[in-house]
């Protein structure tokens, strides 16, 4: 699948700037979406989730936006810090317990 | 609280040798269990998942196999490794009926 075979796109930002990471999904029947953060050499970790009956959800320094019309999901990170450097994956749930992961985006934060 | 363990953390194996990676989960019962592979700089590829003891579903046909001998134990195996089996192997669990996955620390496998 696409998320497996292609090199990851990269987003470079300056420390203190806001970051926006985007993800497109394909199945309008997906009802649950998750963002994961994967630091180098580690397993992915949950950041934030959103259900399809919501447009926006906020966490600590992170906001997820869901646009069901265009099947688009975004993760906004406020005041990006060097510790935010990682690969970020979106995942959609098409089946009840099998998520489909997006291709991932590598975020590089420059001090 | 729940924890997930994987071992070994790193492994270097010759082509044609067997493989056994183990994953165990603590603090929960009847979890869904998953094996993923991640090539360098790539996304996550689901290899196997299990919703119960002895039940294994394969997503990608290949020379790997999985087994679940106990409720919270998931094993990834191969009889003969190929060079293309190199990668970062991740085990994950989710609550039965749940959707969020919790990942282990991963095993870095290099096949030479």
pLDDT at A93: 82
Q: Name the residue with higher pLDDT: A82 or A103.
A: A82
> Which residue out of B44, B92, B108 would a mutagenesis test of the A interface target, given it has the greatest number of A Cβ atoms within 10 Å?
B44
In chain B, residues with a C-beta closer than 8 Å to the C-beta of A36 are 103
How distant, in Å, are the alpha carbons of A72, A89, B30, B52, B99 from that of A30? 12, 16, 24, 24, 12
Are the beta carbons of A8 and B97 separated by less than 8 Å? no
The residues near A34 (Cβ < 8 Å, ≥ 6 apart) are A46, A47, A48, A49, A90, A91, A93, A99, B99, B100, B101
B42 with A98: Cβ contact below 8 A = no
Interface test with A, best of B39, B101, B109 (most A CBs within 10 A): B101
Judge: A7–B49 Cβ closer than 8 Å, yes or no. Answer: no
Q: Per residue in A38-76, pLDDT tens?
A: 999 899 999 999 999 999 999 999 999 999 999 999 999
Percent of chain B with pLDDT strictly greater than 70: 99
Assess whether pLDDT exceeds 50 at residue A23: yes
Q: Which pLDDT band, with edges at 50, 70 and 90, does A95 fall under? A: low
Using one digit for the tens of pLDDT, what is the confidence trace for B11-36? 999 999 999 999 999 999 999 999 99
By Cβ distance, the residue of A36, A43, A99 closest to B105 is A43
pLDDT value at residue A98 = 83
Chain A residue numbers with beta carbons less than 8 Å from the beta carbon of B39 are 4
- Residues forming beta bridges with residue B67, ordered by sequence position: B75
């Amino acid at each position: 699948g696409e998320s497996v075979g292609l090199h990851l796109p990269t987003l470079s930002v300056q420390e203190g700037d806001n970051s926006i990471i985007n993800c497109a999904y394909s199945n309008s029947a997906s009802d649950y979406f998750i963002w994961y953060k994967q630091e180098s050499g580690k397993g992915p970790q949950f950041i934030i989730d959103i259900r399809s009956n919501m447009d926006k959800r906020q966490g600590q320094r992170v906001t997820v936006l869901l646009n069901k019309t265009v099947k688009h999901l975004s993760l906004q990170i406020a005041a990006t810090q060097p510790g935010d450097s990682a690969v970020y994956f979106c995942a959609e749930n098409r089946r009840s317990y099998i998520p489909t992961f997006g291709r991932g985006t590598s975020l590089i934060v420059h001090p | 609280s729940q924890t997930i363990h994987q071992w070994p953390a790193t492994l270097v194996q010759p082509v044609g040798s067997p493989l056994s990676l183990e994953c165990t989960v603590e603090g929960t019962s009847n979890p869904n269990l998953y094996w993923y592979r991640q090539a360098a700089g790539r996304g996550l590829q689901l290899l196997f998942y299990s919703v119960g003891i002895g039940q294994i579903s394969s997503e990608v046909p290949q020379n790997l196999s999985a087994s679940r001998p106990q409720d919270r134990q998931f094993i990834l195996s191969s009889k003969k490794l190929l060079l293309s089996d190199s990668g970062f192997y991740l085990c994950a669990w989710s609550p039965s009926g749940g959707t969020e996955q919790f990942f282990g620390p991963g095993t870095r496998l290099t096949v030479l």
